[in-house]
Amino acid sequence: SPASAVKLNKQQTDIAVNWAGGLHHAKKSEASGFCYVNDIVLAILELLKYHQRVLYIDIDIHHGDGVEEAFYTTDRVMTVSFHKYGEYFPGTGDLRDIGAGKGKYYAVNYPLRDGIDDESYEAIFKPVISKVMETFQPSAVVLQCGSDSLSGDRLGCFNLTIKGHAKCVEFVKSFNLPMLMLGGGGYTIRNVARCWTYETAVALDTEIPNELPYNDYFEYFGPDFKLHISPSNMTNQNTNEYLEKIK
């Protein structure tokens, strides 16, 4: 991820991708939540050498606590995390956590409930990110694309499809800022592969077919052997009233 940031700084690319990165729970002196080095923080520190303001957006189902903590008291990095909140790892990311000192109002948290679907997610993501772009005016953006927010994830409890998840990537990309796209969580492995394949295509403005090409791992993608997944029939506990209230 720091190497990706260097590429962006040198204007050798407009979008850099590291699907092996996005380890947002690691702290300066402790490993946490399957993360032992916070590559995101290291990459943002690299970006700050050339960029006055860097925006960090996190769509993993878990709160991006390690990144928020690292930049909690600075106004040069705004962190925005959309995550499941309430009896859920890592237990941080309350709506009222907004930063401190110079960094007050530069941490934004969207605590969500189980079962959020594409429509509800888009209804909060777009207006929030638009407002953030308008007020913060970053010159670079880091997007953590954890895919445990997808429907059917072994540890997750959201109900997003790959297209719904990728809408976020598409929207952030539309601002035409130097962008670092990172991986993160994702525990139904076949869907992680599907998601990041599709999001790579989105980053490249390329359309790819829903039929998966034959490969050594083809049987992992049965029974349908398709790129896209369907949402489940789980209840969306995020009512419109609730989403409006936190927006």
* Residue corresponding to tokens 């993993």: 60
- Which among 240, 96, 82 has a CA at the least distance from the CA of 156? 82
Show the tokens assigned to 136.
């913060």
Cα 180 from Cα 18, distance rounded (Å): 8
Task: Write down the pLDDT at residue 237.
Answer: 98
The pTM assigned to this predicted structure is: 0.98
245 contact partners, CB below 8 Å, separation of at least 6:
none
Question: What are the residue numbers of the active site?
Answer: 25
Cα 59 from Cα 82, distance rounded (Å): 6
- CB neighbourhood size of 200 (10 A): 17
178: three-class secondary structure by DSSP: coil
Task: Write down the pLDDT at residue 116.
Answer: 99
Task: Write down the pLDDT at residue 197.
Answer: 99
Question: Do 225 and 218 form a contact (C-beta atoms < 8 A)?
Answer: yes
Name the CATH code of domain 2-246 (choices 1.10.357.10, 3.30.360.10, 3.40.800.20, 3.30.70.870).
Answer: 3.40.800.20
pLDDT of the chain, 247 residues: tens digit per residue: 999 999 999 999 999 999 999 999 999 999 999 999 999 999 999 999 999 999 999 999 999 999 999 999 999 999 999 999 999 999 999 999 999 999 999 999 999 999 999 999 999 999 999 999 999 999 999 999 999 999 999 999 999 999 999 999 999 999 999 999 999 999 999 999 999 999 999 999 999 999 999 999 999 999 999 999 999 999 999 999 999 999 8
122 contact partners, CB below 8 Å, separation of at least 6:
164, 167
